[in-house]
Chain A
């Protein structure tokens, strides 16, 4: 287990790249999801305002 963690001495660089890749991709997903939800809410409020 520790040798996987150390990755032959380059552990910081390899696992750092893994972590930052996962972080950026997850952030991408979260922002895309939030944008979608907020536009759906905006359209819904636009529709309900039109109905008044």
Chain B
């Protein structure tokens, strides 16, 4: 992988075709992985000693929380790349990440609330991790609303890119909040270096679900980015021949 191939990714025709081609693969593989993970998580994994069967919500809560944070980092990195290189591809990526990331954050909060109600007795508590995840949802919403309010597209891109970059300080806060503070939310069970503190039969569906959710996020992202790129590049010849060619074939 040399620098030239990374530069080539910034060309709209190449990226558009990449998105169109990759999206079905992402979708099918993610649906398969999620199906396997769901089966493993809901039926095969043994019930937890302390939490009983309610711990199975982990297979929906952890992947969506993971993807929600990853989506914001993608958005911020695309924003930086777009600001530096003024790239339509990067700005389309950033704009498309926002609604997907917001929905995954909402999902993380809702499944967390459904898990907290039987386990902690309360659906919500104002500790560091939950509050910073809620802040993440508001940051996504602020990004989307700012993009909608500025009529000039390039101005909107750059202003929202600044907002995304400023908000990225929230991600380390969410991630390390269980390390820095004594919160109600439990500490992380999967770490890069240590042996995970969770049993193997419970671990493999979780890893599969995380992979499946990530591929599903990639599928949604490719579809939305292709749509956004098409809108921005509708005056170009390559897009018009691509679309008209499709119409002739369809």
Residues of A within 8 A of B (CB): 4, 7-10, 13-14, 16-18, 20-21, 24-25, 27-29, 31-33, 35-36, 38-40, 42-44, 46-47
Find chain B residues with CB under 8 A from A40 CB.
227, 230, 243, 246
Cβ-defined partner of B52 (8 Å) among A10, A35, A36: A10
Interchain CB contact under 8 A, A43 and B117: no
* Further contacts, 17 of them, CB under 8 A, given A14-B54, A24-B106, A43-B234: A8-B47, A10-B54, A14-B42, A14-B53, A17-B57, A17-B60, A17-B61, A18-B60, A20-B110, A20-B111, A28-B100, A32-B224, A36-B223, A36-B226, A36-B227, A42-B234, A44-B247
B15 at the interface (CB under 8 A from A): no
Most buried by B among A27, A29, A32, A44: A32
**Which residues of B in the span 18-47 have a Cβ within 8 Å of any Cβ on A?**
27, 38, 42-43, 47
The dominant DSSP class at the B interface is helix
Interchain CB contact under 8 A, A13 and B117: yes
Find chain B residues with CB under 8 A from A17 CB.
57, 60-61, 110-111, 114-115
Known: A4-B43, A10-B53. A28 touches B118 (CB 8 A): no
Find chain B residues with CB under 8 A from A46 CB.
234-235
